[in-house]
Amino acid sequence: MASPTPVVLITGAAHRLGAHTASHLHQRGWNLVIHYRSREAEANRLRDDLNKIRPDSAVVIRADLAHPGDIDRLANKAIAAWGRLDGLVNNASVFYPNPTPEADADDWDTIMNTNLRAPFFLGQACLPALKECRGTIVNMIDIYSQRPLANHPLYCASKSGLASLTLSWAKDLAPEVRVNGVSPGAILWPEGEAAIDENYQQGILAKTPLARTGSPDDIAGAIAFFLCDAPFVTGQILAVDGGRSLNM
């Protein structure tokens, strides 16, 4: 008898690293629950593309991770899609500068709720299903969780908290659930309000031993390693940064 198809929920999966990870895991035979908040067209396009490759292998669910009620609804719908959940990738994140003199309570709530509170409570809501499947959680962290980026105190604090949560969960949820993290370096440059100029980009690359940006496939491959290929690995945070954390 063939093994059941594993199912993974990826938050923020409509674009950038989340979408690359979804496509990569789909190629590895996983069914996808694609979470999005505002990028409905992109999420639906990704779902449709994946379902053309393998029918009934991807669904989309909208949720605002800053709202507690949406988190429980997302978990319930994700589990109901195929009656199981083997993986949770906490990829969704908010990133923008907020120097301490200007940061306010709204900045705190926006960043902490999305980057730290949501992964905790989504993991909690998914935990019974993950335990039943002896599943895996992968948290998207950041190399700035260890060596903070100037003028991003709330973002760095949120990712440091997520790193600590990863290690705590690895201990507390074992042996049924493995928990690991991936810390990207320079992969895709930030967009919008968080965008950085070319000189700053070159400065980052100058501190990166491999002297280039990475590929989204590097992150997707690291996540897939933890989900698919590392049954005896838990409590690890893998820096995928071309060696930049050596020179920060």
The residues, ordered by sequence, that sit 6+ positions from 34 with a Cβ below 8 Å of its Cβ are 10, 13, 14, 22, 43, 46, 47, 58, 59, 60, 61
Q: What is the largest CA-CA distance in the chain?
A: 61
Q: Locate the DSSP E strands across 28-177.
A: 31-36, 58-62, 87-90, 136-140
| Cα distance between residue 106 and residue 118, in whole Å | 16
Q: Out of 36, 96, 155, 200, which one is annotated catalytic?
A: 155
| Cα distance between residue 2 and residue 66, in whole Å | 39
Contact 139, 165 (CB under 8 A): yes
Calculate the alpha carbon distances from 174 to 13, 130, 154, 245 in Å: 27, 11, 30, 29
Contact 12, 93 (CB under 8 A): yes
- Indicate if 155 belongs to the active site: yes
Give buried/exposed letters for 11-39 (b at 16+ CB in 10 A, else e): bbbbebbbbbbbbbbbeeebbbbbbbbeb
Residues labelled catalytic: 155
